[in-house]
């Protein structure tokens, strides 16, 4: 579970999905601006993006077959899951 590094309140699991290296999110309890650890963000983005290219290519090649759509959904879910799990929040100065 993600926690605010300032007030230790819980951060909704979907918040890091909107977190990039260029923006931050606000803690809804204390209002602090938080950003993700850039290294971890890049790692998730890099792996997710790399896999995503393969997944989308496969989807296109297979003419949007049932199996490929399933793999695509699985990929989206795992990227979301990974960002919720591995994002490390830091207080933005
Ligand atoms: Zn907070």
Q: What are the strands, taking DSSP E only, across the chain?
A: 25-26, 33-36, 89-91
pLDDT computed for residue 34 by the predictor: 94
7 lies in some domain? no
Q: Into how many domains does the chain fold?
A: 1
22 lies in some domain? yes
> Tokens 């007030």 belong to which residue?
7
Supply the range of the domain harboring residue 43: 15-91
CA–centroid distance, 86 to ligand 1, in Å, is 18
CA–centroid distance, 32 to ligand 1, in Å, is 6
Pairing of strands 25-26, 33-36: antiparallel
Per residue in 18-55, pLDDT tens? Answer: 888 788 999 999 999 999 999 999 999 999 999 999 99
CA–centroid distance, 23 to ligand 1, in Å, is 17
3 lies in some domain? no
9 lies in some domain? no
What percentage of the chain's residues is helix, strand, coil (to nearest 5)? 55, 10, 35
39 lies in some domain? yes
If phi over 0 gives left and psi between -120 and 50 gives alpha, with beta otherwise, what is residue 66? alpha
Instruction: Tell me the pTM.
Output: 0.82
Distance CA 39, CA 25 (A): 17
2 lies in some domain? no
């Amino acid at each position: 579970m993600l926690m605010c590094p300032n007030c230790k309140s819980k951060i909704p699991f979907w918040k890091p999905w909107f977190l990039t290296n260029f923006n931050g999110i606000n803690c809804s309890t204390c209002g602090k601006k938080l950003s993700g650890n850039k290294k971890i963000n890049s790692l998730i983005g890099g792996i997710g993006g790399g896999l995503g290219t393969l997944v989308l290519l496969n989807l296109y090649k297979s003419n949007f077959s049932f199996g490929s759509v399933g793999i695509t959904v699985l990929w989206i879910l795992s990227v979301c899951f990974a960002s919720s799990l591995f994002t490390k929040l830091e207080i933005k100065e």
